[in-house]
A and B are shown apart, each in its own frame.
Chain A
């Protein structure tokens, strides 16, 4: 499945934006992991200058150090890949009809939330912090009238442009009056079938 081929995509639906979290968020986690990976090596190097120590190849200490170190670095490597997957498999899609928020949580959790554009009531964006301001990433908050009241697109690049794009798309939806159950559609349809009979009191009251 291609990233933009999300579940339930309609045939005439056009993908306008595909957003991942900003690369700096992923890099932050990697830097922390690299520091954790380097810490034992630094400690061993410092210790070797304080005291001389040797491990005989056939000793328990040698076996524990080598096998423990291998397991430790294998675990860190898997953790790094897990961070990558968390970054890569979390994305937000904005189409000409709806917004979709796909979140991967761990190995066995995946949440797909979507909302139609005509249900969007408000879109705001914010940028907090020095790095966020310098690298131009932040959050986009999409307030909806649906079951999930608020979509949060976290740490996306150029959040103001994203918010503006979503608002522009919702304006186009409003202009085309595509909301089902919109009273104006019924009024227009009723006007085409207008009979010569006068309106009843109830009809006049409703108008």
Chain B
């Protein structure tokens, strides 16, 4: 009796073991087959690939066509598929069909039906939210589009806030993003090519450009680079950015990242290329110059003087961010004669009880500022502002009273910290914050000579940078025909040309004036 039971269980285990022989090779073998004439074989295969019924949201529905009684099986993943569409445009018409000879693709009332003959394609279709229909005695399967991925609706831009101008931001759904951009460029030459960039997750990137404007060579180059990526998965554009950029160790970003569809559209009009992707509430704009990081769209939405005033403020803010702390160190420790006597005495007086050298004092405070900033970003939302205020105010006040920091240092560091927020681009913002520390270090070592040396090296470095073949400081240097939108912008009717460094096929944007 026991022996028999043992035998039975042993056999079961053996059987299981055979079933469990589910190696990677085996799996890919399954996928490499073509669609069989036997519907049962196909159903078995797909079930095996998707591990139905363990895999809960992969659904299969088997039935017979109303008219000729042909066996049918529909596969789809219910969580990423619009189930209503499947029911109304596939299952219902098939069941209600009375004609004996009707073909399946004639019965389906969906927007498109594609016949496929490889299991691999079947799987890809199911994975991207489409439904696939198998029919008995047919060597093709039918796929139709009914994908419905869940996501946010279009919301307000949060990181690139504008007072004047559109408030929409891109979302995680690439179709929505495409629609937002197409809404702004209603032209047949806006091309949205799709490139699959990863092996396993089959992540798809949409490459947008305007034909007859964007340089074909550039388009080809970027497409090539995307196709040659050899990775399992690239989740979103922020990761893709790091894969395709040329200098991965450079402090300065070479691809612009924006969450605003209006910005993406205006770059497209200039001949840039935009990358969109599912799961990324943003667009990658390339090539990018230093100026595109420095600008915000608002400067063009505002009238000429107002826009340029903002630019002017930002230039000043950038210099304050980078240099204030360093200049304070350099001047007080190396060039004290520069400061007017009264101010010098005031500084000396406020430092009377402070036991640290100025360099250390600044470094301490800068580090504290960065800590508060980082902490403020990570604390749960309701506590954020409170922590920030406690951190900044109380800590600063207490530090002064405890004679650790002199009040002037607080002013200097707060100024350089606050002004850094005027740079809205997150990558450039980080770059500047790091550069600030380098300048502090150089000022501590060699005063103004040290700072100037670092600055000169920085300039040499900056001018030698390139983003996809475009010099980083173009069109300022090297000079190109363009609208001259660098530090300041021109009157809008005078911005006649597309940037020459992109080598656009069509240089001219508008004739002499917008009004004729």
B partners with A: no
Give the B-binding residues of A (Cβ under 8 A): none
Give the A-binding residues of B (Cβ under 8 A): none
